[in-house]
Structure 1
Amino acid sequence: MSTAIENEPQLKRETSDTTGFSGQEKQIQTVRLEPTLDTVDEGYEVYVQTLDSKLQRTPEAQAAWDATSKRVARKFDHWLLAMMCFMVGVNYIDKAALAWAVLFGFKADLNLVGKDYNWISSMFYFGYLAGQIPSVYLTARAPLAKVIGISTIIWGVLMLGSMGCKTYGQMLAIRFLLGVFEAPLVPSLVSYTALFYTRKENAARTLIWGAMQGAFYLVFSLVAYGLGHINNTALRQWAWIFLVIGLLSVVLGAGWVLFMPDTPMKARFLTEEEKVVSIERTAENMYGTQGHVFQWKQILECFWDPLYYITLIYVFFETVPNGISSFNTLVISSFGFNQFNTLLVGLPSSIVSAGSLITWSFLARKYGGLRTIGLAVPLIPAIAGMASVYATTYGDYSKWGRVVAYWLVNSYAVCWPFTQAHIGVNFAGHTKRSFVYGSSLVFFATGNIVGPFIFPSGSSNYSKALGIILAFFCIQFLLAGVIRAYMVWDNRRRDKLYGPVDTKAITEGALEGLQDRTDRENKSFRYVL
């Protein structure tokens, strides 16, 4: 396996004359990197060929290019974003299936006792951990659309296999394998979004497909409500939920394999001109379009990067509260609702989740990202809601007042897409970014393994678990401030060392990004707040 450590690209300075907006000729010096065979991005040559015309572009030509760029972004929205939304939504309801199944005889049918249900919930994330090493390798080298599609087909088949489980051990095995094959999805999907959208566009799109978690949970809660009324069939009540989700996953995965492009250059719905524009758009993200070489030096760089460690700690504190997803229906039922009312009463939580994500996507689109703001501010209503539920554990309080406060907790769902967007644009180098994704998902899985065990088994009082989640929300809020402060400090430090990022620096940074340079190696790279 080539590491590309010794094959450093050679710098070549070229000078070209161009005309400024004032009509006066000025000289612009650009730095071009002579490509090496092992690390050069597939879009490198295309971008280099556009450099001269880019530098000599008149205001009229620039306006025409901007119009084409917007048209390309709209095409990506029409052709790709919808499929991303379906993928995220189906992936989420796949993990949420347990919370519905437990209301319809799941525990009794599998003879679950004690902490068995907690272990079944957590076992998925043990598989998730085991899948991270192959996941990092695949997202650094393999065609992303194929990785996403094939993984989806496999986990759909495993969901169908869940219907046949009759024992605790069989379900543990299925849940472990589900985690293994779902491990590549998040890093692949975040990288896939970064291939087609600029840094400014990226956060809004990530939030839009992230909103599908709440939207699909809302829709499939109603589906589960209907399926739960099916009786007197060969299938157990809860197995109908797995059947529907499994079939949907297989069909969706096949669609990704057959129809989704791996890179902008392979998008059949783009004209040749639009493909060139798409490369120029994303080249200036400074992290290229697709890697082909696994570079160990980029992994080593992570261990010297403070932002890497801060981000991982944030992810852990962000994901332990996810344990509430498997116990969501049990917490609501503890307020005094029966099994069917629990499903209906829980629906507004999904409305809060999806609504918050959509609202923040509009804000991110309008104001240009808001990544670090989005890591903190959505936690405020979640903290207020959880504090209210926790404070009213004992006493004669209205169950409706408690459940309304509980609905607010789901606003914290906004933070995870912002975390993904933060990783997607603030770590460059294909291997480094894949490793950061993989590392973050190790902490994501660890948090999700821990999460279910803060809930007592067989209890009708979850106050201790809710108090722990409240504390984690508060720590997460503080860590978001640390991430922002560090990035502001480092951007100012790099400005002093290398000068501010102007048009020339952006061009040089784009070329280095297409040579698979990391954010630390690329002098023009600055963190996006």
Structure 2
Amino acid sequence: MASDNETNSHEIASDVNKESKYEVSIKNLDPQLSTILSLNDEVNNMDMKDMDEAYQFLDEETENLVLDPAYEKKLVRKIDFHIMTIICGLMAVQMMDKTTNSYAALMGLRKDLAMTSEEYSWVGSSFYLGYLVFEYPANLILQKLPLSKVLSLAIILWGVVLMCHSACHAAATFLLCRTILGILEGFMNPAYIIMTSQWYRKEEQFMRTCLWYGFQGLGTLVGAAIAYGLQVHRAGFHSFASWRVFYIITGSITVFLGFISGLHVPDVPVKAWFLNKTDKMYAVERSKSNQQGFGNKKFKKHQLIEAFKDPVTYCIFIYAMSYAIPNGGLNNFGSILLNEDFGFSSTKSSLMNMPGGGLDIVFPPAVALINHFWLKDFKIISMVIINLLCVVGSCLLTFTNHRGSMLTGYYTLYISTTNMAGVASIVSSNVAGHTKKITASTVLLVGYCVGNMIGPQSFRADQAPGYAGAKTAMLVSYCAGAIALFALYWIYLFRNKKRATFREEYDKVASDKIAFADLTDLQNPEFIYDL
């Protein structure tokens, strides 16, 4: 608290709000306090268009609402059932669809389309080229237009384009389909990040993000099972290649889920058909605790500039690229590596991806649970440890020759999904200001795209079947990722300590309206970073 000779911060705030000419000169105050008082004045005079969408749903009844923990717990379960199940399902089919190439390659895709090794490498890279080019426009569209409708349309079109893969008879048309598919994926992960920040408190977001990211594993399991079935039971497909049937099956599943998503998921929580009036009031109040709200449709240039001045943005980019280089390589060459380097048959190679899918499902939520109950405020440190385990896995894969140790290293790399989920959660919970959030989300996914473009290119035909260069690239990537995560932890720790020191000196002086002012995390004095 302030010393006796200092003016109480509440009295200062009252003086500033009541007097047209300050009796206490702001210039003589603590610079941080001066900034907050000026910010209060600015927020109180803000145009409605500058405020968060959640603000328009505030009324006297909502402002005086006291949350009942038991009722809130039931509400969270309801949200999990209606929202989280859909996101998890969409994430599963998204991963299933992205790994179709790895299985299709074992079914004769490369032979039927007369693909060279270099052309097949571009099958993975062209997807992320489309993703990269359209990522920021996709984020702007998600900001300007109804979130659920845009997402649903993108998913349906994704499924249609995936089925079009089966009609390709040359490498060029196949690469075109992959590029269009990448453009459409540009809508998906940003939408999931925004939805998570809308529906859940900051302390709930890491768990949910790990859950829906982990459901990539279900997509791997289902994709591997379908591929195995088509490889073993080829009867009836002699005139129509089994890999073509594979794309039709996976595309049909995606189109179906796209329609379900459009009909089921609301654009914002207060428009949810499955919430009653009290539930919606709780949703607004819960968003207030995040100091973020539901979002804002107005593009704010100063938030864009702040995002690129914030060192956090570059840590996010470096980590995303470091994760995606191994990811892009293994998504397209994983089954080929198991077949050519590890010595498994083509059918067994499809099945050998299934344990990795199981790790994807189990490991991220398990880490999130451990952090939630026992290691609070150590999420980022746990992510550093996981990346270091991936370094060990890369070493086993790169420097050993025994199939058992190589396989152990290969499966260890699957746990890195936890960290990508964690970084997505950081964007959701620790980046405030809607324009800044979509910018950070774009940077995350640009890094993800660049890495996924580089990854397949590291698998060079002249290094087959061991692909030593690709394995070395994975090892270096995981080391760089661990450093980026550690830097992120220290930046957030420093900022939280600085704000905690200020709170010890002064009572809360920020206006309650600040929570819905669409301020960035650096602007908002009440914002606390989730570690």
TM-score (norm 2): 0.87
Q: Deviations over 1:220-244 (max 9, x none)?
A: 2112100223244342111111111
Distance 1:306 1:498, change over 3 A: farther
Q: Deviations over 1:263-288 (max 9, x none)?
A: 11011111101100111011211111
Aligned-partner SS, 1:268: coil
**Aligned counterpart for 1:300 among listed residues 299, 305, 310:** 305
CA distance in 2, matches of 1:501, 1:182: 47
Q: What amino acid does structure 1 have at the position aligned with 2:335?
A: T
Q: What amino acid does structure 2 have at the position aligned with 1:329?
A: S
Shift of 1:160: 0.9
Q: Does 1:270 align with 2:275?
A: yes
Structure-2 residue corresponding to 1:105: 108
Aligned-partner SS, 1:43: helix
Structure-2 residue corresponding to 1:383: 391
CA distance in 1, matches of 2:427, 2:379: 10
Q: How does 1:305-384 map to 2 (within 5 A)?
A: 305-322=310-327, 323-333=329-339, 334-366=341-373, 367-368=375-376, 370-384=378-392
CA distance in 1, matches of 2:81, 2:265: 12
**Aligned counterpart for 1:149 among listed residues 129, 152, 163:** 152
Distance 1:52 1:112, change over 3 A: closer
Distance 1:49 1:501, change over 3 A: farther
Structure-2 residue corresponding to 1:75: 78
CA distance in 2, matches of 1:422, 1:374: 14
Q: Does 1:423 align with 2:453?
A: no
Aligned-partner SS, 1:455: coil
CA distance in 1, matches of 2:356, 2:308: 39
CA distance in 2, matches of 1:194, 1:164: 39
Aligned residue-pair number: 490
Distance 1:489 1:116, change over 3 A: same
Aligned-partner SS, 2:217: helix
Shift of 1:351: 1.8
Q: Deviations over 1:414-448 (max 9, x none)?
A: 11110100111111111110011112211110111
Note if contact 2:220-2:353 (Cα within 8 Å) is conserved in structure 1.
no
Q: Deviations over 1:76-108 (max 9, x none)?
A: 011111101001001111111101101100000
Flag the structure with higher helix content: 2
CA distance in 2, matches of 1:175, 1:52: 49
Q: How does 1:209-220 map to 2 (within 5 A)?
A: 209-220=212-223
Structure-2 residue corresponding to 1:284: 289
Structure-1 residue corresponding to 2:44: 33
**Aligned counterpart for 2:224 among listed residues 216, 221, 224:** 221
Aligned-partner SS, 2:167: coil
Q: How does 1:135-284 map to 2 (within 5 A)?
A: 135-228=138-231, 229-233=233-237, 234-284=239-289
CA distance in 2, matches of 1:337, 1:501: 66
Q: What amino acid does structure 2 have at the position aligned with 1:327?
A: F
Distance 1:143 1:166, change over 3 A: same
Distance 1:165 1:35, change over 3 A: same
**Aligned counterpart for 1:123 among listed residues 122, 126, 146:** 126
CA distance in 1, matches of 2:502, 2:221: 50
Note if contact 1:263-1:290 (Cα within 8 Å) is conserved in structure 2.
no
Shift of 1:374: 4.2
Distance 1:358 1:496, change over 3 A: closer
Give RMSD over aligned pairs: 2.3
Shift of 1:158: 0.2
TM-score (norm 1): 0.88
Q: Does 1:439 align with 2:447?
A: no
Structure-2 residue corresponding to 1:520: 522
Shift of 1:45: 4.2
Greater displacement, 154-163 / 512-521? 512-521
Structure-2 residue corresponding to 1:452: 456
CA distance in 2, matches of 1:178, 1:368: 39
Shift of 1:303: 2.1
**Aligned counterpart for 2:500 among listed residues 475, 495, 502:** 495
Distance 1:115 1:501, change over 3 A: farther
Shift of 1:362: 1.8
Greater displacement, 491-500 / 324-333? 491-500
Distance 1:146 1:364, change over 3 A: farther
Q: What amino acid does structure 2 have at the position aligned with 1:219?
A: V
Q: What amino acid does structure 2 have at the position aligned with 1:414?
A: T
